[in-house]
């Protein structure tokens, strides 16, 4: 234990500085409830993504970005979640599972759209297997993080900005 503390004091904090990000990629439609600050549980739903958005989301939990330092963590069930992150265009096969997941998230059912596809279908818009994006099914997210895919820094800052003001 002493060695761990000694190394920590010698090496300093190794997590990434997230202060540089692209503000233009963040759109806040509704403020997140302040009561969730420091303890935000997220269930992720891939509605039909190409998986690049998932790679960036997965990076949030590594020791480099370490999103848990902000009290934000991913959980396995919508019933344990305060918020849903949505990626990808909404495919016909994922439309009902998305609605089922939303039903199981306790109010206020915070929705966070990750990536261009989540909002309007992105590059898959108009494809035969696609219902569309959140706006096509009349769901307004609290936050949209734009990008194809968005960067981990933009995602973290977008979520944190949702609590500001
Ligand atoms: S926004 Fe880009 S990276 Fe994300 S699912 Fe769509 S095509 Fe893939």
pLDDT given for residue 5 in this prediction:
82
pTM for the complete prediction? 0.93
Residue 79 lies inside a defined structural domain of this protein: yes
Q: What pLDDT shows up at residue 3?
A: 84
- The pLDDT confidence band at residue 4, using thresholds 50, 70 and 90, is confident
The Å distance, Cα 8 to ligand 1 centre, comes to 38
User: How many domains does one find in the chain?
Assistant: 1
Q: Kindly state if the Cβ of 88 falls inside 6 Å of ligand 1.
A: yes
Q: What are the DSSP calls for 144-157, one per residue?
A: EE-SSSPPHHHHHH
Distance between CA atoms of residues 115 and 152, nearest Å: 11
* CATH code, 127: 3.40.50.12280
CB of 52 shorter than 6 A to ligand 1: yes
Q: Is residue 118 part of a domain?
A: yes
Its domain, for residue 119, covers: 22-161
Whether 158 contacts 41, CB under 8 Å: no
Q: Does residue 15 form part of some domain?
A: no
Residue 53 in domain:
yes
In a domain, 125, yes or no: yes
- Of ligand 1's listed atoms, the one at least distance from the Cα of 53 is 4
**For residue 3, is it within any domain?**
no
């Amino acid at each position: 234990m002493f060695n761990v503390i000694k190394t920590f004091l010698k090496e300093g904090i190794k997590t990434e500085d997230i202060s540089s990000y692209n503000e233009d990629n963040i759109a806040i439609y509704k403020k997140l409830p302040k009561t969730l600050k420091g303890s935000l549980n997220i269930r992720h739903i891939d509605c039909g993504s190409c998986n690049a958005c998932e790679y960036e989301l997965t990076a949030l939990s590594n020791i480099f970005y370490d999103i848990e330092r902000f009290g934000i963590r991913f959980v396995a069930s919508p019933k344990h979640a305060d918020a849903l992150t949505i990626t990808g265009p909404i495919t016909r096969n994922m439309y009902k599972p998305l609605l089922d997941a939303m039903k199981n998230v306790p109010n206020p059912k915070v929705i966070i759209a990750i990536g261009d596809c989540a909002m309007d279908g992105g590059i898959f818009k108009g494809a035969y297997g696609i219902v569309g994006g959140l706006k096509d099914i009349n769901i307004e997210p609290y936050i949209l993080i734009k990008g194809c895919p968005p960067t981990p820094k933009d995602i973290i800052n977008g979520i944190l900005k949702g609590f500001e003001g």
